[in-house]
Amino acid sequence: MDQERYKFFNVFQELADGSLTPKFQIEISGASFGPGVILQKGITFGGVDFHLYKYLDIAVEKLPNGALKIIGFYK
């Protein structure tokens, strides 16, 4: 599959309280989650605290089911 580059805030939405929620179904490290899942600062999902990567671009692969598989983050 081809890797694509996405801006962080094209994949995640930051809520008024500073938490994050994905705009799409996401897969990372074998864990899958989607819109409506709330990610608080300091909490890891799939081994990642997404707040640490808020302003970085994301390397993803589009999966056949439409989900985005996060491969890594650009620095």
Q: Enumerate the domain spans of the chain.
A: 3-73
Q: Say whether pLDDT at 1 is over 80.
A: no
Confidence class of residue 75 from pLDDT cuts 50, 70 and 90?
Answer: confident
Report whether 54 contacts 8 (CB < 8 A).
yes
Q: For residue 19, which of 2, 43, 1 has the smallest C-alpha distance?
A: 43
What are phi and psi for residue 51, nearest 5 degrees? -65, -25
Which pair of tokens denotes residue 56? 């970085």
- Tokens 């994301």 belong to 58
Which pTM was predicted? 0.90
Per-residue pLDDT of 21-70, as tens digits, reads 999 999 999 889 999 999 999 999 888 999 999 999 999 999 999 999 99
Report whether 75 contacts 44 (CB < 8 A).
no
Q: What is the pLDDT of residue 45?
A: 87
